[in-house]
Each structure stands twice: as structure tokens, then as C-alpha cells.
Amino acid sequence: MNFLTTIVATSLTLAAASTWASGEETYKAVCANCHAKGVANAPQVGDSAKWAPLIAEGQVVLTAHGYVGVRAMPPKGGKPDLTVQGFSEALNHMVNQSGGNWKTPSSKTLKDIEAEIARRQKGNKS
Ligand code: HEC
């Protein structure tokens, strides 16, 4: 019984650890590969002038369009299992280093982002 409890507890901890990666961790592991140095003309973190017009698009639109992918920007930052929430937190980290002040999206904002993603994906297919 104790053995089983340990296994269950361990897998719960692992599951929690993988969903709780902070925006900064996801940024460092995924986005920084391109956005730290501006690879392929990716808007560089800290370049407020480049980020200002993107930030002006608003959190819902920019998060959704980045998640779907824009030109040389790969969908989900190239990490197929990245959730909308995980992507959003990583983007917030970049925005907040680049002149913006975005908050972790509320569940309503997340719903709006998901709706915009669906609209965008539909548009891309037709
Ligand atoms: C393989 C390189 C690469 C990775 C990895 C990457 N990006 Fe990008 N990203 C780009 C490039 C290049 C652009 C500029 C696209 C353009 O305008 O042509 C871009 C643009 C963006 C934009 C602006 C989109 C727009 O509407 O113009 C956002 C937002 C963004 N990236 C977020 C992220 C986030 C968040 C991550 C990590 C989860 C990430 N990117 C990972 C290359 C990358």
C-alpha cells in the first residue's frame, strides 16, 4: 500500500511540475531561442520600440496570433504541447520586459484568446 501511495504521489508531483512552468521558464526554454537575439527578425525582448505596435494589438489578439503562428513565427513557438495558457504566460514575460504591463489572463480573457485562435485558424484554411 505504501509503495502504491508513493507512486501516486510522485506522479502527481511530476504532473504538477510540468503544468506549473512559469512564463519565465517557458520563455527561457522555448521562446528565447529566437526572441533573445532577434533570430530571423523575431522581435527582440527588451526592444520596446519593436514591441510597442505589437503590444498595442492587445493581449487577446497578439496572444492568439502568436499561438497560431505568424510568418516566420512557428505555431506554439515550435513546442506542439504548449498550452494557450503556457504560451500566454511566456508572452507576458516577454511583453513585460519590453515596455508592457500584462497580467496573467483571467479565465474570461483565456476564453477570448481561444475564440480568436479558432477564428484565426478558420481564416488560415480558407
Ligand atoms: C524559431 C524561432 C522562434 C521561436 C522559438 C519563437 N518565436 Fe516568436 N517570432 C519569431 C519570428 C521570426 C517572429 C516575427 C514574425 C514576423 O513578423 O515575420 C516572431 C513573432 C512573434 C510574435 C509577434 C506576432 C505578430 O503578430 O506579429 C509573438 C507574440 C511571438 N513571436 C511570441 C512567441 C512566444 C510566446 C514564443 C515562445 C512560446 C515564441 N514566440 C517563440 C520566431 C520565433
Report CA torsion sign: 7, 9, 13, 19. Answer: positive
In this structure, the residues whose C-beta lies within 6 A of any atom of ligand 1 are 26, 30-31, 33-35, 39-43, 54, 62, 65-66, 70-74, 77-78, 82, 87, 90-91
70 belongs to a structural domain: yes
How confident is residue 126, by pLDDT bands cut at 50, 70 and 90?
very low
Taking the CB of residue 27, how many other CB atoms lie within 10 A of it?
23
Nearest-CA residue for atom 37 of ligand 1 = 31
- As for how many domains the chain has, the answer is 1
Residue pair 121/101 in contact by the 8 Å Cβ criterion:
no
> Which residues constitute the domain of residue 58?
21-125
- Residue 48's pLDDT is 98
How many Å apart are CA 108 and CA 126, to the nearest integer?
28
Q: What distance in angstroms lies between residue 1's CA and the mean position of ligand 1's atoms?
A: 48
Partners of residue 73 on adjacent β-strands: 70
Q: Which residue has a Cα nearest atom 3 of ligand 1?
A: 34
State how far Cα 97 lies from the chain centre.
Answer: 14
Residue 6 lies in a domain: no
- Minimal CA–CA distance to 16: which of 28, 8, 24? 8
* Residue type present at position 3: F
The CATH number of the domain holding residue 27 is: 1.10.760.10
Summarised one tens digit per residue, pLDDT across range 19-64 is 568 999 999 999 999 999 999 999 999 999 999 999 999 999 999 9
Mean pLDDT of all residues in 104-117: 97
- Give the separation between CA 75 and CA 78, rounded to whole angstroms: 6
CA of 8 to the centre of ligand 1 (A): 38
Single pTM value for the model: 0.87
